[in-house]
Amino acid sequence: MISIKALAESPGLTSIPPTYTFTRSPNDEPVSDDPEDSIPIIDFSLLTSGTPDQRSKSIHQLGKACQDWGFFMVINHGVPESLMKAMSDACGEFFNLTEEEKREYGGKHVLDSIRCGTSFNASVDKVLFWRDFLKIFVHPQFHSPSKPAAFREILLEYSKRSRELAMELLKGISMSLGLGDTYIQNALNLELGLQLLAANLYPPCPEPELAMGMPPHSDHGLLTLLIQNGISGLQVQHQSKWVNVNSIPNAFVVNVGDHMEITSNGKYKSVVHRALVNEKATRISIATVIGPPLDTVVGPAPKLVHRETNAPAYTGIKYKEYMQLQQSNQLDGKSCLDHVRILPA
Ligand SMILES: O=C(O)CCC(=O)C(=O)O
Ligand SMILES: [Fe+2]
């Protein structure tokens, strides 16, 4: 399968091949034009080193962001800007390797530690997406492609720093659920949890309104931390509208994943989002997914369910089985989560 990078660079390309034409559903939500519609901002420095009052306000804001939006931006997070830029550049260089060099990691299983390809799952996608990807398991065992030369070192440091940030956010989220700061960490054994880095490349597209970078979907895992190379394209579904995420430079865009929705028994919802493409600039986004160990069965936190007043709304499922389920179907909104939802009697 040809990479989207190779296709986009074909000389004289003025239209997209029909297999890339994404049919938007007739009841697709409109894009919000309200400048007030913007995902909440969390000041990480207040969450971790503010006064007790500032900390408790931040925890409240974090909980509210998870409940109302499922998405928020994190500023003053302490991850060096130079490291974020280096990671984004290194991913760009990976995609610049020859098709031959990248083939070493291509077309493999969802649980393989390094995997690159195009679209989402080109063997089941009816329409192909204008996107190449590189996915790497960086925790509990660290993996890295051996090329480009500096990749490994940058990835190691970036993975470590983004993990620390995620763990602090999870403490705050755990508190916001009234569970105590280490409850989620302990209940889901995050010490040995999966961390997946997924880099996305969206080259310029001659007919951006006809193509789709990534279709509407929610993410597996507890939290996703996203950085971008300054080019926008991400949209989040909110109150029946698509809201553009115009990220503050160097902020992390964080979202609630399906396994946080399950753990919180539906209090915090994973939110559907999509990535559009544009005609002019190459966009790179790098998602870091934080999840439990692959063999952990994730169900609602026992402390959050109550037989009569708050019955479990999801059946427990092994994290890796959930990932396999998502990978074997077309990426389609929250259809994967629907498989484990218990409908009220
Ligand atoms: O490129 C983006 O902004 C979104 C990527 C994404 O949703 C994902 O990797 O799951
Ligand atoms: Fe996503």
Bridge partners (DSSP) of residue 310 are: 306
Q: Identify the H or E element spanning 259.
A: helix 258-263
| Pairwise CA distance, residues 4 & 94, whole Å | 14
Residue 344 lies in a domain: no
Q: State the DSSP code for 34.
A: -
Q: Judge residue 100's burial from the number of C-beta atoms within 10 Å of its C-beta, 0-12 exposed, 13-18 middle, 19 or more buried.
A: exposed
Q: Which of 129, 226, 334 to mutate to test ligand 1, by most ligand atoms within 8 A of the CB atom? A: 226
Q: Which of 133, 234, 254 to mutate to test ligand 1, by most ligand atoms within 8 A of the CB atom? A: 234
CB 235 within 8 A of CB 243: yes
Q: Ligand 1: which residue has its CA nearest to atom 10?
A: 219
pLDDT at position 36, please?
Answer: 83
Tokens of 218: 């929610």
pLDDT at position 45, please?
Answer: 97
What distance in angstroms lies between residue 333's CA and the mean position of ligand 2's atoms?
10
Residue 50 lies in a domain: yes
Average pLDDT over residues 143-167: 97
Q: Is the pLDDT of residue 1 over 90?
A: no
Q: Is the pLDDT of residue 247 over 90?
A: no
pLDDT at position 91, please?
Answer: 98
What is the predicted ipTM?
0.99
Count of domains for the chain: 1
Mean pLDDT of the chain: 94
| Pairwise CA distance, residues 221 & 213, whole Å | 21
What distance in angstroms lies between residue 52's CA and the mean position of ligand 2's atoms?
34
Tokens 């697709």, located at residue: 28
Question: Is residue 107 very low, low, confident or very high in pLDDT (cuts 50, 70, 90)?
Answer: low
What is the pTM for the complete model shown? 0.96
Residue 315 lies in a domain: yes
Tokens of 132: 């190449």
CATH code, 242:
2.60.120.330
Residues with CB under 6 A from ligand 1: 198, 200, 214, 219, 226, 233-234, 273, 275, 285, 287
pLDDT digits (tens, 9 = 90+) for 156-212: 999 999 999 999 999 999 999 999 999 999 999 999 999 999 999 999 999 999 999
| Other CB atoms within 10 Å distance of the CB of residue 259 | 27
Segment of 26-30, 101-105, 111-115, 154-158 carrying the highest mean pLDDT = 154-158
Residue 345 lies in a domain: no
pLDDT digits (tens, 9 = 90+) for 85-101: 999 999 999 999 999 99
Range of the domain at 109: 4-339
pLDDT at position 275, please?
Answer: 97
Residue 74 lies in a domain: yes
The helix/strand/coil state of 44 is helix
